[in-house]
Amino acid sequence: MSSHTVSGQAMVVLFSAGDHRAIAPALQHLAHAQSMGFESHPADAADPEQVFSRLSAEHQQAALVVFGGGQWQAGSALNTPPEAWDAAWRSQCLQGARVGQAAIQAMRPRGAGTLIFLGHTHSVTDAQPARHGPPQAFGAAHAAASAGLRSLAQSMARGFGPQGIHVAHLCIDAPLPWSTRTAPLVAQTCWALHGQGRSAWSHEIDLRCLPEPDDHQPRATI
3 state SS of 197: coil
Query: Shortest approach of a copy of itself to residue 50 CB, angstroms?
Result: 15
- Listed in sequence order, the residues at least 6 apart from 182 whose beta carbon sits closer than 8 Å to its beta carbon are 19, 22, 174, 209
Report how far residue 200's alpha carbon sits from residue 137's, in angstroms, rounded to the nearest whole number. 39
Report how far residue 2's alpha carbon sits from residue 82's, in angstroms, rounded to the nearest whole number. 50
Examine residue 140 and tell whether it contacts a copy of itself (CB under 8 A): yes
State which of residues 2, 3, 7, 199 lies at the interface with a copy of itself (CB under 8 A): 199
Examine residue 73 and tell whether it contacts a copy of itself (CB under 8 A): no
Report how far residue 180's alpha carbon sits from residue 213's, in angstroms, rounded to the nearest whole number. 13
Report how far residue 137's alpha carbon sits from residue 139's, in angstroms, rounded to the nearest whole number. 7
Per CB under 8 A, the segment of 7-15, 19-27, 47-55, 186-194 that binds a copy of itself is 186-194
Examine residue 26 and tell whether it contacts a copy of itself (CB under 8 A): no
φ, ψ dihedrals at 169, nearest 5°: -120, 125
State which of residues 50, 202, 220, 221 lies at the interface with a copy of itself (CB under 8 A): 202
> x/- string (CB under 8 A) for a copy of itself, residues 97-116?
xx-xx--xx-----------
Half-sphere exposure at residue 150, Cβ-oriented, CA atoms within 13 angstroms: 19
Query: Shortest approach of a copy of itself to residue 140 CB, angstroms?
Result: 4
Query: Shortest approach of a copy of itself to residue 20 CB, angstroms?
Result: 15
Q: How many CB atoms within 10 Å of residue 173?
A: 18
Query: Shortest approach of a copy of itself to residue 3 CB, angstroms?
Result: 29
Residues in 146-185 that interact with a copy of itself by CB under 8 A: 146-152, 154-156, 158-161, 181-182, 185
Examine residue 222 and tell whether it contacts a copy of itself (CB under 8 A): no
Per CB under 8 A, the segment of 7-15, 25-33, 36-44, 80-88 that binds a copy of itself is 80-88
- C-alpha distance across the termini of the chain, in Å: 44
